[in-house]
């Protein structure tokens, strides 16, 4: 739930191929790219050297990256899974989290009189964890048409999120770099574990 709130604070389709699993890229695959590591949740990712690293999110939850495309952003974050749900541990399942996220985003944009058009959800994996991608488009009266991809995974205690926002006309320019970036994504520890652990190989 914290991650959802953080997305709201950021104020403001083509779905990624469902056959793609975002797993570790070979070492040095993205030579020259910078490395971001999140101290709180332990995840790390490499990003293009011409992207600007923004300020940390509140409580060290993540960071926003600015690609060299006007009005675009890529946000990386972690969050706690503390909301009651239907999993055997009594916490939210990924499907429950996704449904809540969709509702909150629809309400958020609705308050700004912006109608969002949702695409079909995509099942994928993020660094070996089951994940979902939510994609929607909308029109901003001042800046034109946008598309957003929200990729999220959820474990027993923690979750991970990636938000991509880009003008619809620039999506084809940005998404190949985002997909390469997500192949370098490392979860840092097992988000299903009771205590921080190195993920099993």
pLDDT digits (tens, 9 = 90+) for 39-87: 999 999 999 999 999 988 999 999 999 999 999 999 999 998 888 888 8
For the residues 145-160, what does the mean pLDDT come to?
Answer: 93
* DSSP helix/strand/coil, 39: coil
Give residue-wise pLDDT tens across range 89-117: 788 899 999 999 999 999 999 999 999 99
Q: How much is the pLDDT for 155?
A: 86
User: Which residues contact residue 138 at a Cβ distance below 8 angstroms, ignoring those fewer than 6 apart?
Assistant: 109, 114, 115, 116, 117, 145, 146, 148
d(CA 17, CA 182): 13
User: Predicted confidence band at 30 (pLDDT cuts at 50, 70, 90)?
Assistant: low
Treating both helix axes as pointing N-terminal to C-terminal, what angle do 94-111 and 2-9 enclose, rounded to 10 degrees? 20
Q: How much is the pLDDT for 156?
A: 83
What whole-number percentage of the chain has pLDDT above 70?
79
Q: How much is the pLDDT for 32?
A: 80
What domains lie within the chain, and their CATH numbers? 2-182 (3.40.1000.10)
- pTM of the shown model: 0.80
Across the chain, what does the average pLDDT equal?
A: 83
User: Per DSSP, what are the bridge partners of residue 64?
Assistant: 75
User: Predicted confidence band at 183 (pLDDT cuts at 50, 70, 90)?
Assistant: very high
Helix (H) or strand (E) holding 117: strand 117-118
Q: How much is the pLDDT for 8?
A: 39
In which region does residue 43 sit, left (phi positive, over 0), alpha (psi from -120 to 50) or beta (all else)? beta
Higher pLDDT, 22 or 73: 73
Q: How much is the pLDDT for 167?
A: 97
């Amino acid at each position: 739930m914290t991650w959802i709130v953080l997305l709201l604070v950021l104020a403001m389709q083509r779905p990624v191929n469902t056959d793609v699993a975002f797993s570790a890229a070979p070492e040095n695959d993205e030579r020259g790219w910078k490395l971001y590591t999140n101290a709180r949740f332990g995840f790390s990712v490499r990003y293009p050297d011409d992207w600007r690293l923004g300020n940390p999110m509140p409580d060290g939850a993540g960071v926003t990256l600015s690609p060299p495309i006007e009005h675009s952003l890529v946000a990386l974050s972690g969050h706690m899974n503390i909301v009651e749900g239907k999993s055997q541990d009594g916490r939210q399942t990924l499907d429950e989290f996704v449904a809540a996220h969709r509702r909150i985003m629809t309400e958020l944009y609705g308050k700004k009189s912006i109608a969002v058009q949702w695409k079909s959800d995509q099942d994928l994996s993020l660094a070996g964890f089951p994940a979902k991608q939510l994609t929607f488009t909308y029109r901003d009266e001042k800046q034109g048409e946008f598309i957003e991809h929200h990729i999220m995974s959820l474990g027993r205690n923690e979750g991970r999120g990636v938000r991509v926002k880009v003008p619809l006309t620039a999506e084809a320019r940005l998404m190949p770099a985002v997909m390469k970036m997500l192949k370098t994504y490392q979860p840092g520890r097992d988000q299903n574990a009771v205590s921080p652990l190195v993920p099993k190989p």
